[in-house]
Structure 1
Amino acid sequence: MNWRGIWAIYHFEMMRFFRTLLQSFISPVISTSLYFVVFGTAIGARIDEVEGVSYGAFIVPGLVMLSVITQAISNASFGIYFPKFIGTIYELLSAPLNFIEITIGYVGAAATKSLFIGTVILATSSFFVDLEIQHPVAMLAFLLLTCLSFALLGFILGLWAGNFEQLQLVPLLVVTPLVFLGGSFYSISMLPPVWQTITLFNPVVYLISGFRWSFFGLADVPVGLSLMAIGAFTALCVGVIWWIFRSGWRLRS
């Protein structure tokens, strides 16, 4: 394993992040505050509790997942797309690095950035509501797995995208709606039975449900099923990346 090469990629990506650290810090704080003003105050005034948990606290896991998923995808996709855009991807491919080492460097940096954002949002949320995490180890595990799996997805999108419009297409039109419809700000038990069944086909439901369970002990789907879903999704992303580097699809043209 070429650890020096992995560190070079990781360090370069993290330095790009630290150059805009203030922006990266302020943005999630402002957006989280706005969500609490809109959802926590306006809707929370009409919904006191959800399954025994105050509505303001109930939406915190969804807020964290929403930001972590979008940040992991955007950071990983831009990180690998930019070398394609300026033509330095060929230098990377000719370096003594295999696809695993390249992936670890870029995905590791994107996952670290999104983990930082998730931590900032949790800290910001504590100023608005009282949070008690019942299963802190499980919370950290779900957070890390989400950062990793969606950074892998973002890496795939960066390899696939042919322009900046395509780079934003999937996150805006697919991922963000799935997160909003995946129980970020409500429990799927509040939906009619037909829609509850339909919602179970949304893979994000399993992530948010497992993450919320680590806070409050409440879950829309079994926790074991949530872990299986995120594990299968991670394995699928790794398999797709292996195929892309093996076939050269979108890399050599």
Structure 2
Amino acid sequence: MKYAVIAEYLGHYSVVLMCRAMNVSRSGFYKWLKRPPCAAQLRREQVESKVVELFAEFKARYGAPRLADELADAGLPCSKNFVANIMRLRGIRARNGKGFHYRPASPTMINVEENRLRRRFRAEGPNQKWVTDITYIWVNGRWLYLATVMDLYSRAIVGWKLDTSMTERLAMDALAMAYANRDIQPGLIIHSDRGVQFRSVKYLDLVRSRGCLPSMSRQGNCWDNAVMESFYSRLKVELIYAEQYASIEAVRSGIFEYIEIFYNRK
């Protein structure tokens, strides 16, 4: 492995300097360099090349576990530790996350619905259980707000809306898009937290207008909507934190690419 790294940087640094840094002998390196490549070396080179290709394809969003899954799908099965070692030696690292904090809910609330979902995040088929929420995105000195609706069967985002204000209209537009994209039947559970947008009369009327059942998390309990929180965490890590957006339209375009092209399809 050390010899392979030295060989990769031939012409950039002197062999003497690299051998000294790697704590190997020059004679050993030249002996290694002249020998024909073995099957294991050829496979490693193939896997390493594919790791770098996939890392670039997924825009640094995938770490070793997900890259290992992609390699298996491509017919190159290997362990995540093997991939992690290649990434470490290559100096590539997936985008990492940031923590998020929750504010306690107001003790006095109106239009609170029961928790019909009860953390049962699996569905037997599409359009049986949806979850929705709103997240904040700081861009160029101002807040933007993204509302999304997720189908728990496929985890696809079936509706979303980005805006400069966090109103009931934001939540309703995301839900209206989901309604337009799916053929739904009465009885669909639509779960949210207890945010004022989701407790508004207009929003609840929209939920019930299609025979759907509103569901809300318990007071101050973010884990009752953990799947949606997890999606927002990855979106911010894999898109928002990595970009320097200068306009709302640039953010909208980036979110479209992430949700409709990358997340929902890949």
TM-score, length-normalised on structure 1? 0.27
Give 1 or 2 for the bigger CA radius of gyration: 2
TM-score, length-normalised on structure 2? 0.26
Whose helix fraction is larger, Structure 1's or Structure 2's?
1
Whose strand fraction is larger, Structure 1's or Structure 2's?
2
